């Protein structure tokens, strides 16, 4: 069974440019997460979806970040414009529904962003 798929794996952009990351969760997983991992730190949640609905986006910097999950499957995370401090790994993850506590969350390989 395929795991969580993310693209691109690596992206280098100049500051003020836009960038987008795509994620395809594990088949049947209705809960999707975007995490950001800064160098030397643990991942931090940006946004969580249940099907198409964003149920927790309190940590998403909404002035420059946006996300969507049309049709409740694939998701896209966008940054516009990018800043130097956005350099990080953007991790997509998914888990089964019902989203009861204790469900294992599975991560993709990550999209490594460098803003120069």
Q: Is 36 one of the binding residues for another protein (CB under 8 A)?
A: no
3-state secondary structure 68-94: ECHHHCCEEEEECCCCHHHCEEEEEEE
Fill in the per-residue mask, 14 to 33: x = in contact with another protein (CB under 8 A), - = not in contact.
-----------------x-x
Closer to another protein by Cβ: residue 51 or 80:
51
Whole-number Å distance between alpha carbons of 102 and 116: 39
From candidates 26, 45, 54, 73, binder to another protein by CB under 8 A: 45
Q: Is 50 one of the binding residues for another protein (CB under 8 A)?
A: yes
């Amino acid at each position: 069974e395929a795991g969580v798929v993310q693209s691109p794996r690596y992206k280098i952009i100049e500051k003020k440019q836009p960038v987008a990351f795509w994620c395809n969760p594990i088949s049947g997983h209705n809960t999707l997460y975007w995490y950001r991992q800064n160098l030397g730190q643990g991942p931090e949640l940006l946004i969580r979806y249940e099907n198409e609905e964003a149920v927790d986006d309190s940590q998403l910097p909404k002035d420059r970040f946006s996300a969507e999950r049309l049709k409740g499957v694939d998701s896209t995370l966008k940054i516009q414009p990018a800043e130097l401090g956005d350099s990080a790994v953007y991790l997509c993850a998914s888990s089964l529904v019902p989203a009861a506590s204790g469900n294992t969350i599975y991560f993709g390989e990550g999209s490594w962003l460098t803003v120069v």
